[in-house]
Amino acid sequence: MSTLESAPSSAVVDSGLTPNRLPVLGPWILVGLLSAAFVLRGRLGWFENDELRLWSTLFVSICIQALPFLVLGVVISGLIGAFVSPELVQRFVPKRPILAVPSAGLAGLALPGCECGSVPIAGRLVAAGTPSAAALTFLLAAPAINPVVLVSTAVAFPGNTNLILARFLASLSAAMLVGAWWSRRSGDSLLEQLRHSHAPKNGRWRTFVDIASRDLIHAGGYLVVGALAAATLQLVVPRSVLNSVADNELLSILVFAILAVILSICSEADAFVAAGLPQFSLTSRLVFLVVGPVIDLKLVAMHAGVFGRKFAMVFAPVTLATAVVSAVVMGWVLL
């Protein structure tokens, strides 16, 4: 038995971080229902309306384009959560916050994962004694600047290298700014509940299956919601309304920031939803791409469960404001 297989899992901590085992039949029931709907579509008279066909085309195209990146992202997140010990990461993180924050931000490139997986990893880093500013910087950077996200953005926006660069710089800047702010405010008292926690005694592969299956179900659900919203906006909302919002840059930025928080789409798939709304400016869509991976409804709930409600109430508004400002600045400079 290898060292990795025999070592206890250190991907998550107690007090709400242990992933729940999902019912095995859940995904197969969903696949069965979708297959039955596809087989019976002719008898049921579905998709006979041209507008409904257009809606279904938009919805399916967004899902199909994003799904491979979503699966790849949750697999990587599961592998990191199960096999990369926070204690190992801690060895490479400088103790001084002035050096730890940028190092943790750039670690998001080497340790990619979706936002759902980065929360328990950050919790384990804090519990292992990593400077909280560095752990929170990693929490924000890992789901926003990792290679899977950047590649998916390149596929969703082919030939637009400036948008990819803007997303990377804006996301990294937001993560580092929030980390620097946290290091100066001495807010570690909000995280004391994690200092004395410990890792559960699950096997590595059990942890991998738990994390990957949970993230796939959760992130897949949010992807479907996002694709439904994008397709419905294009079809149901009058073109004049969309154009009027798109023509107002400030309003479109505000709308996309709100959508990013509400839709809670996985960072590996959000670029395809943004690409499905081409009438809006690149800057406003950049706001959507920068805000979503760092703060949304599901993340606020996870932050409250892992770090405490007081932490979430302080952390969420600062992160949202920082992400919006960083995206707008990079959009104006590069786009």
Q: What letter would DSSP give residue 192?
A: G
Residues 6 or more apart whose CB falls under 8 angstroms from that of 290 comprise 144, 167, 170, 171, 174, 323, 324, 326, 327
Q: How far is CA 127 from CA 14, 43, 80, 157, in A?
A: 10, 57, 17, 39
**pLDDT per residue as tens digits for the range 113-165:** 667 667 777 776 776 677 888 889 988 998 899 888 999 999 999 989 999 99
Task: Select from 208, 214, 207, 159 the least CA-distant residue to 23.
Answer: 214
Tokens, residue 60 = 């399916």
- Note whether 61 and 70 are within 8 A (CB): no
Highest mean pLDDT: which of 89-93, 174-178, 260-264?
174-178
- Note whether 232 and 262 are within 8 A (CB): no
State how far the Cα of 298 lies from the Cα of 316, in Å rounded to an integer. 11
Backbone conformation region of residue 264, classed left if phi is above 0, alpha if psi is from -120 to 50, else beta:
left
Instruction: List the alpha helices (DSSP H) in 40-85.
Output: 41-44, 50-83
Q: Is residue 64 over pLDDT 60?
A: yes
| pTM score, whole prediction | 0.72
pLDDT of residue 276: 85
Task: Select from 46, 48, 22, 42 the least CA-distant residue to 219.
Answer: 22
Confidence bin at 1 (pLDDT 50/70/90):
very low
Quote the mean pLDDT of the chain. Answer: 76
Domain boundaries, the chain: 27-33+46-334
State how far the Cα of 168 lies from the Cα of 144, in Å rounded to an integer. 7
**pLDDT per residue as tens digits for the range 174-226:** 999 999 999 887 655 556 555 444 444 567 788 788 877 776 776 666 667 66
